[in-house]
Amino acid sequence: MMCDRRHSALLTVIVPMVIGEIVRAYGIDEKTATERFYASRVYEELSDEARKLWHYSPKILFSLYDEEIKTGNITYPEEAF
């Protein structure tokens, strides 16, 4: 199991990149994109180290977020659990 500090460090790199994808795709400001991402199920699961979503690229995480926003569902590209 990954230590909490290492997981937190990964999140500090991954999350801004996902937020950048949201800003570009939705044409919204960074503050709004950040608030929306932090309120998402994708972020909730990304924050849970045991879910292992940190191994997905920011682009894949964005596509999961985009699907969640558009459909209310998340379809993982492979079983991560």
Task: Look up the domain containing 8 and give its range.
Answer: 4-71
pTM of the model: 0.86
> 81 lies in a domain?
no
Using pLDDT thresholds of 50, 70 and 90, give the confidence band for residue 6: confident
Residue 64 lies in a domain: yes
What is the number of domains present in the chain? 1
Model confidence at 38, in pLDDT bands (50, 70, 90)? very high
Region 14-33: what's the mean pLDDT?
98
Residue 4: is it exposed, middle or buried by C-beta count within 10 angstroms (0-12/13-18/19+)? exposed
49-76 residue pLDDT tens = 888 888 899 999 999 999 999 999 999 9
Q: Which residues lie below 8 Å from residue 68, measured CB to CB, with a gap of 6+?
A: 40, 41, 42, 74
Asked if 43 contacts 74 with a C-beta cutoff of 8 angstroms, the reply is: no
> To which residue do tokens 């991560």 refer?
80
For 54, what's the count of Cα atoms within 13 Å in the CB-facing half-sphere?
18
> Would 28 be classed as within a structural domain?
yes
DSSP class of residue 39 equals: T
Is residue 76 situated within a structural domain? Answer: no
Residue 78 inside a domain? The answer is no
